[in-house]
Structure 1
Amino acid sequence: MSQTDPHGTQPIRTAGASPEDADAAVVLVHGRGARADGMLQFAREFGREGVRYVAPQAERGTWYPNRFVAPIERNQPHLDSALAHLGRAVDEARSGGLASERIVLVGFSQGACLVSEFVARDPRRYGGLVLLSGGLIGEDGTEFDHQGDVEGMPFFLGVSDDDPHIPMSRAEETVEVFERLGADVRFDRYEGRGHGIFEEEIEYLGALLERVTR
């Protein structure tokens, strides 16, 4: 492991259609303490034929060491390394010639925070951005002044009001940013469900993939 690029030599797992045969791709980013293979297994719950699944692995299962609402410098160099590794996963999803509009980015928890930051920093029209309990990275009081246009990209954020890791206020700030960037936003607030992945979210993913693969 490089001290300046801790995720640089980590693998990118794949499943589903080959790059040449894929109608769409889904990039799946795991949470803290988890594994890429687990996200590929999760994809079986909403996946379909003709889709390529791409899942980057974090060094020691963790994308950055501190909470996502810590000052950004406290999560460096891990955060920059994680964003670069996610970029390589997106490149892998594109490797068969797919346009960004046919690539869906999905993250859970720490992975959801990472994918939201990835798209907000370089806005473009992906097939969808799905945050399963996550939000933009930065300490309380951060001014999220991202500029750009995602051109109606489907955007989903789901979070419970008692999630111990994701403050509802940060979820709301994240939704505001992507509304300003021109996303087609769906924001699901759940009551008393804690931190997890929920049935409504799996249903949304299935419907989104159906749209993207048409």
Structure 2
Amino acid sequence: MADDSKPTLLERIVLEPAKSATACVIWLHGLGADGHDFVPIVRELGLPTELGVRFVFPHAPAIGVTINGGMVMPAWYDILGMDFERREDEAGVLLSTRRLEALIADQRAQGIASERIVVAGFSQGGAIALHAGLRHAEPLAGIMALSTYMVLGESLEAQASEANRGVPILQCHGSQDPMVPIGRGQAARERMEALGYAVEWHSYPMQHQVCAEEIDEVGRWLRRVLA
């Protein structure tokens, strides 16, 4: 896997608001999906026009995924096996983190203040959003982590950004999730809370998906952190 220190911007879908953008949500999809996955949800969030929120949905590059027999698919990093908490693709996580940082820098260059940028993700994308957001050097508006877990968690205490010690964090998870068991999401929450982060947690009787109640909660949370 390439290890470029300044990766080129990923291909992405950009949804512009009706008025000039003054805020941005960068939303990473899950394993095997692409940036189109969460585009239909935007209209269901109920965000007022005056918030001026731009949505950016990047496409992960296609790589071979070990746990899926090496099948090539969109992925933010390789998953080496079911014991992935002990066998993590550190190089892949760090590369995707740099790619997300490049997307944040691109929004900053377009005039969006860091305090008006939310990093968000589902499943594998949520793991990158957590990893990058908690380490980002400038204060963010929030981190949204859906049906996800923590990667490289042992390094968080040493690498955590002081600028985001108080960042709003929304975590949502399905209680019947067979892909990412809810215990993994709870472990991420407990790790963050042990380090002093305030995590807003919601669980829903669903599998590895999103539901209407969760979408409503995401909309309420975005309205609050971007107000």
TM, length-normalised to structure 2: 0.77
Moved more, 102-111 or 119-128: 119-128
CA drift of 1:73 comes to: 6.2
Task: Give 1:84's aligned residue.
Answer: 98
Task: Give 1:28's aligned residue.
Answer: 27
- Written as runs of structure 1 = structure 2, the 5 A alignment for 1:184-195 is 184-191=198-205, 193-195=206-208
Which string of whole-angstrom CA distances, capped at 9 and with x for unpartnered residues, describes residues 131-182 of structure 1?
A: 110011149xx57535444243221111123312223333223213333454
For 1:198, the aligned partner's letter is C
Pairwise CA RMSD of aligned residues? 3.0
Unaligned runs of 5+ residues in structure 1 are none
Which string of whole-angstrom CA distances, capped at 9 and with x for unpartnered residues, describes residues 49-93 of structure 1?
A: 311111221112111121696157652432222111111111223
Task: Give 1:176's aligned residue.
Answer: 190
- Written as runs of structure 1 = structure 2, the 5 A alignment for 1:92-131 is 92-122=106-136, 125-131=139-145
Higher share of residues assigned helix: 2
TM, length-normalised to structure 1: 0.81
Q: Is the 8 A contact 1:23 1:213 kept in 2?
A: no
Q: Is the 8 A contact 1:130 1:157 kept in 2?
A: yes
Among 52, 55, 58, the alignment partner of 2:54 is 52
Q: Is the 8 A contact 1:124 1:151 kept in 2?
A: no
- Taking a change above 3 Å as real, the CA distance of residues 210 and 161 of structure 1, as seen in their structure-2 partners, is closer
In structure 2, distance between residues paired with 1:30 and 1:177: 23
Moved more, 143-152 or 53-62: 143-152
In structure 1, distance between residues paired with 2:135 and 2:56: 21
Moved over 6 A (4+): none
- Written as runs of structure 1 = structure 2, the 5 A alignment for 1:70-81 is 70=84, 74-81=88-95
- Taking a change above 3 Å as real, the CA distance of residues 160 and 4 of structure 1, as seen in their structure-2 partners, is same
CA drift of 1:198 comes to: 2.1
Task: Give 2:36's aligned residue.
Answer: 37
SS at match of 1:177: helix
SS at match of 1:44: helix
Unaligned runs of 5+ residues in structure 2 are 63-73
In structure 1, distance between residues paired with 2:76 and 2:87: 14
In structure 1, distance between residues paired with 2:106 and 2:14: 9
Residues paired across the two proteins, number: 208
Q: Is the 8 A contact 2:16 2:54 kept in 1?
A: yes
Q: Is the 8 A contact 1:22 1:96 kept in 2?
A: no
SS at match of 2:119: strand
SS at match of 1:195: coil
In structure 2, distance between residues paired with 1:11 and 1:56: 6
